Chains A and B, each alone.
Chain A
Amino acid sequence: MAKPEIDSVTGVETTGHEWDGIKELNKPLPKWWLWVLYASIIWSVAYWIAMPSWPLIADYTRGVLGYSQRTVVAKSLEDARAAQSRFLDRIAAADLAGIKADPELLQFSLAGGAAAFGDNCAPCHGRGAQGAIGYPNLNDDVWLWGGTLDDIHKTLNVGIRSGHPDTRDNAMPAFGRDQILEPAQISDVTDYVLSLSGGEANAEAAARGKEIFAEQCAACHGEDGKGNIELGSPNLTDGLWLYGGSRNEIADSIRNSRAGVMPAWEGRLSPETIKQLAVFVHSLGGGQ
């Protein structure tokens, strides 16, 4: 080793490292700093003993304090549930209109309902409940099975064609597939249905279609085509279409029928959560 170079100004040796003519002085570290290092080493050994630390082949050392982040998470979830219970107990006891009328419970249900909606409903109905072709938009005022708090609550509980014993269910005939109507008749009915909501339609064909409609469709959709919430049959006059409102899409619906499915949430979500969801969906703007 070369003899350390002594800096002429300070009389201190240099490390020999030089940057642009500036040399680093080799200043000794204060001794207490070394003691801090030793203290840290002792601390780390104590930590290994006290806390979970070393990985083993199938397990890890648990530490004598028995700390585990899983139990911490479980505890904080339990605490959160306990903190919510004062609202949830009241929601369980209250009826839906009562929840809506109580500002505190409404606020809680809107937040809780939004979270439950995001977890359970958004995959089909969309993040903003805006729906998609075949999946209803829950923001508007169009309801197949009714838009009151109780209607929405029941739909949530029993689902649609869900297999639940009380499920909401109906069946529209597949007029084309089952050869109930001729293709030409289906075309005429399509024109009539288009005309109901003020769409572009052939007047002559619509007149022919009107007769077929009265015969085949009015039983469910009503004489005037305004549908029937009791039967879950859609209003055909409002210009809002669950399966699309183009000529082809309407004809396709008549030909092959439509039968959407929604699961029953009873038993899958807690009654309080379903109540919150009902209030949330009702408050999206279209509730009746």
Chain B
Amino acid sequence: MRARTEPDEFMAVTATQHTGRTASEAAPGVEQLDVAAVNAPETRSLYAAREKVYAKRAYGTYRTIKWIVMAVTLGIYYLLPWLRWDRGPYLADQAVLIDFPNRRFFFFFLEIWPQEFYFVTGLLILAALALFLVTALAGRVWCGYTCPQTVWTDLMIAVERFWQGDRNARMRLDKAPWSFNKVWRKTATHVTWLAISVATGGAFVFYFRDAPTLMGEFLSFDAPAIAYIFVGIFAATTYLLGGIAREQVCIYMCPWPRIQGAMFDHYSLLVSYRTWRGEPRGAHKKGESWDGRGDCIDCKQCVAVCPTGIDIRDGAQLECIQCALCIDACNSIMDRIGRPRGLIDYDTIDNLEVASEGKTSTLKLLRPRVLLYVGLILLVSLIMLVALLNRTVLEVNILRDRNPLFVELSDGSIRNGYTVKILNKLHKPGRFHVGIEGMKDATVKIVGFEKEKNPVISVLPDDLRALRVFVTVPRKNLETAKSGVTDFEFTVTDLNNDSTVRNDTTFRSPGR
């Protein structure tokens, strides 16, 4: 409880809290009210209209890198489902296939069963760690170069530029009244966008079904409905997000910029404007001395090429996806006016802080967080590699019955029931013998093979077979097992190559 305040003092306090200031008088005895018109200029709109960004074409190193990255990533995306991989006559020959009906994931030499999903988990962890590492080293490289939103937006802008011209032409065309010229240019742009979008959706579904088969089904209009639905969903999102929404996705929809801002530090290489070199900025006349002024001639080329439409000279900001196109734009200007390149460049915050004093800080690549990420990546890779090398093509799972734990038979012997699952990961039919070792006088019976001695169990290629197996042991053999537990092992022998898999399990009997 707060101590009680005197009445007067209490009133004053509440008044201050209420208005943020003490009450004032307009004239002696006339109180000035704290009120403002609702349509006062300070009252801003609650909603901001989108300002269309007309990104100008940039030329330079980073633009070239972005074209290459675009070609590689889109090439992988569109063409990978068509790559074939020989797995023998019983299995799909598609190199990368997510086979939901048969619950298999094929990835080149890898084949993942549902119970091996940890490989996918490992891959996702590796992807996340690689993202952290690259962000710690050089900021939003993911956003600027490889994010699908960036790649497809870049492609859509290139299409727009192809039909409607570069920045100035597009701005003129948008301002111009509707004419035949405007209509066909706009139509061609949207038709091309839609074609790209449908191809994007089409490529996606090829990852889930044999690509040539599905393509044939598409052409004869008898593909499964779900395939058309997913082509539709992906075509719509590609057209909307890549063609129409563009930078709005990065700025308003994506959570990643908020997270990524916390992942780089003073020593990360970020796309930065070197204020110490550029300021004071201003137009430069021919022959004018560069002494006492900055290198920035305020030509705003960096703003014009920016796909999110911001000014890098305002410093680091959430909207900046660090695509480095402003570096290209500025460098080409610096070449023309004869000043050194790199007014905008990849630089560290640490270096920028000391540069104005004419000093340079050394680039620290091996920082604790970088080493941590590298260590974790190596660790996860190692675990996955070991798991991969130890992956067997024949796996046996033994599940001992728990209800009932054991069964007493009329001759006094004890029987235990087991479910033996044989996972034949070979790409051909398997033939197996199931037996036990380490249990004297035991009889083994397999349900469905009761009459056969040592039956041959056949398992389909790349399939699983569950067997019910009963092991019966005379009571006298179990009298030493005071705890009621006897260890023994199941052996499953592959008759194709005579290799044997052993699995430890236990035999339960009434304790003594």
A: residues with CB less than 8 A from B are 1-4, 13, 26-34, 100-101, 103, 106, 110, 126-130, 137, 139-142, 235, 238-240, 283-287
B447 contacts partner chain A, Cβ-Cβ < 8 Å = yes
Are A31's CB and B50's CB within 8 A? Answer: yes
Beyond A128-B403, A283-B468, whether A32 also contacts B248 by CB under 8 A is yes
Are A141's CB and B248's CB within 8 A? Answer: no
Are A34's CB and B401's CB within 8 A? Answer: no
Are A283's CB and B447's CB within 8 A? Answer: yes
Residues of B within 8 A of A32 (CB): 50, 245, 248
Specify the chain B residue showing the minimal Cβ separation from A26.
B44
Q: A30-B248, A32-B248 given. 4 additional CB < 8 A pairs?
A: A30-B50, A31-B49, A139-B415, A240-B410
B76 contacts partner chain A, Cβ-Cβ < 8 Å = no
The segment from B34-42, B168-176, B187-195, B384-392 that touches chain A is B34-42
Query: Nearest-CB distance from B448 to chain A (Å)?
Result: 5
Are B35's CB and A285's CB within 8 A? Answer: no
Query: Nearest-CB distance from B441 to chain A (Å)?
Result: 17
Are A29's CB and B34's CB within 8 A? Answer: no
Query: Nearest-CB distance from A83 to chain B (Å)?
Result: 14
Are A137's CB and B404's CB within 8 A? Answer: yes
B470 contacts partner chain A, Cβ-Cβ < 8 Å = yes
Q: CA–CA, A28 to B468, complex, Å? A: 67
Q: CA–CA, A6 to B401, complex, Å? A: 72
B47 contacts partner chain A, Cβ-Cβ < 8 Å = yes
Query: Nearest-CB distance from A8 to chain B (Å)?
Result: 15
Beyond A2-B19, A103-B448, whether A141 also contacts B404 by CB under 8 A is no
Are A28's CB and B401's CB within 8 A? Answer: no
B86 contacts partner chain A, Cβ-Cβ < 8 Å = no
Residues of A within 8 A of B19 (CB): 2
Are B48's CB and A29's CB within 8 A? Answer: yes
| Residue in A26, A28, A110, A239 whose beta carbon sits within 8 Å of that of B410 in the complex | A239
Are B407's CB and A239's CB within 8 A? Answer: no
Are B48's CB and A31's CB within 8 A? Answer: yes
- B396-413 contact mask (Cβ, 8 Å, vs A): 1 or 0: 000001111001111110
Are A139's CB and B407's CB within 8 A? Answer: yes
Query: Nearest-CB distance from A26 to chain B (Å)?
Result: 8
Are A239's CB and B448's CB within 8 A? Answer: no
Beyond A2-B34, A32-B248, whether A106 also contacts B46 by CB under 8 A is no
B: residues with CB less than 8 A from A are 19-20, 34-36, 42, 44-50, 245, 248, 252, 401-404, 407-412, 415, 417, 445, 447-448, 450, 468, 470
Query: Nearest-CB distance from A19 to chain B (Å)?
Result: 16
Are A30's CB and B412's CB within 8 A? Answer: no
18 contacts between A and B (CB under 8 A): A1-B36, A4-B42, A27-B48, A28-B45, A29-B48, A30-B47, A31-B49, A32-B245, A34-B47, A103-B448, A127-B403, A130-B403, A130-B404, A140-B410, A142-B410, A284-B417, A286-B407, A287-B450
Beyond A1-B36, A103-B448, A140-B408, whether A285 also contacts B415 by CB under 8 A is yes
Residues of A within 8 A of B417 (CB): 139, 284-285
Are B47's CB and A110's CB within 8 A? Answer: no
| Residue in B42, B44, B403 whose beta carbon sits within 8 Å of that of A28 in the complex | B44
Query: Nearest-CB distance from B248 to chain A (Å)?
Result: 6
Specify the chain B residue showing the minimal Cβ separation from A27.
B48
Q: CA–CA, A65 to B19, complex, Å? A: 56
Beyond A283-B468, A285-B417, whether A100 also contacts B46 by CB under 8 A is no
Residues of B within 8 A of A30 (CB): 47-48, 50, 248, 252
Residues of A within 8 A of B401 (CB): 128
Residues of A within 8 A of B468 (CB): 110, 283
Are A3's CB and B47's CB within 8 A? Answer: no
Residues of A within 8 A of B35 (CB): 1
Query: Nearest-CB distance from A130 to chain B (Å)?
Result: 4
Q: CA–CA, A239 to B404, complex, Å? A: 18
Are A140's CB and B409's CB within 8 A? Answer: yes
| Residue in A106, A110, A239 whose beta carbon sits within 8 Å of that of B412 in the complex | A239
Q: CA–CA, A4 to B452, complex, Å? A: 89
Residues of B within 8 A of A29 (CB): 46-48
Residues of A within 8 A of B49 (CB): 31
Residues of A within 8 A of B404 (CB): 128-130, 137, 139
Residues of B within 8 A of A2 (CB): 19-20, 34
Q: CA–CA, A69 to B252, complex, Å? A: 37
Are A13's CB and B48's CB within 8 A? Answer: no
Are B411's CB and A106's CB within 8 A? Answer: no
Specify the chain A residue showing the minimal Cβ separation from B244.
A32
Q: CA–CA, A269 to B143, complex, Å? A: 63
Specify the chain B residue showing the minimal Cβ separation from A106.
B448
Are A28's CB and B34's CB within 8 A? Answer: no
Residues of A within 8 A of B248 (CB): 30, 32
Specify the chain B residue showing the minimal Cβ separation from A13.
B44
Residues of A within 8 A of B412 (CB): 239
Residues of B within 8 A of A13 (CB): 42, 44
Are B410's CB and A33's CB within 8 A? Answer: no
Residues of B within 8 A of A137 (CB): 404, 407
Q: CA–CA, A23 to B457, complex, Å? A: 72
Q: CA–CA, A27 to B251, complex, Å? A: 12
Specify the chain B residue showing the minimal Cβ separation from A131.
B404
Specify the chain A residue showing the minimal Cβ separation from B413.
A141
Residues of B within 8 A of A31 (CB): 47-50
Query: Nearest-CB distance from B40 to chain A (Å)?
Result: 9
Query: Nearest-CB distance from A288 to chain B (Å)?
Result: 10
Residues of B within 8 A of A128 (CB): 401-404
| Residue in B45, B46, B403, B410 whose beta carbon sits within 8 Å of that of A238 in the complex | B410
Residues of A within 8 A of B410 (CB): 140-142, 235, 238-240
Query: Nearest-CB distance from B240 to chain A (Å)?
Result: 11
Q: CA–CA, A126 to B412, complex, Å? A: 22
List the 6 closest pairs (A to B, CB-CB), nearest first: A128-B403, A238-B410, A130-B404, A28-B48, A139-B407, A31-B47
Q: CA–CA, A171 to B46, complex, Å? A: 90
Residues of A within 8 A of B44 (CB): 13, 26, 28
| Residue in A3, A33, A100 whose beta carbon sits within 8 Å of that of B42 in the complex | A3
Residues of A within 8 A of B50 (CB): 30-32
Residues of B within 8 A of A240 (CB): 408-410
Q: CA–CA, A18 to B249, complex, Å? A: 28
Query: Nearest-CB distance from A110 to chain B (Å)?
Result: 7
Specify the chain B residue showing the minimal Cβ separation from A31.
B47
Q: CA–CA, A235 to B409, complex, Å? A: 13
Q: CA–CA, A188 to B248, complex, Å? A: 96
Query: Nearest-CB distance from B316 to chain A (Å)?
Result: 13
Q: CA–CA, A26 to B412, complex, Å? A: 83
Q: CA–CA, A235 to B410, complex, Å? A: 9
Residues of B within 8 A of A238 (CB): 410-411
Residues of A within 8 A of B48 (CB): 27-31
Beyond A137-B407, A239-B412, whether A106 also contacts B447 by CB under 8 A is yes
Residues of A within 8 A of B415 (CB): 139-140, 285
Q: CA–CA, A21 to B123, complex, Å? A: 41
Q: CA–CA, A200 to B48, complex, Å? A: 95
Residues of A within 8 A of B20 (CB): 2
Q: CA–CA, A92 to B248, complex, Å? A: 64
Specify the chain B residue showing the minimal Cβ separation from A142.
B410
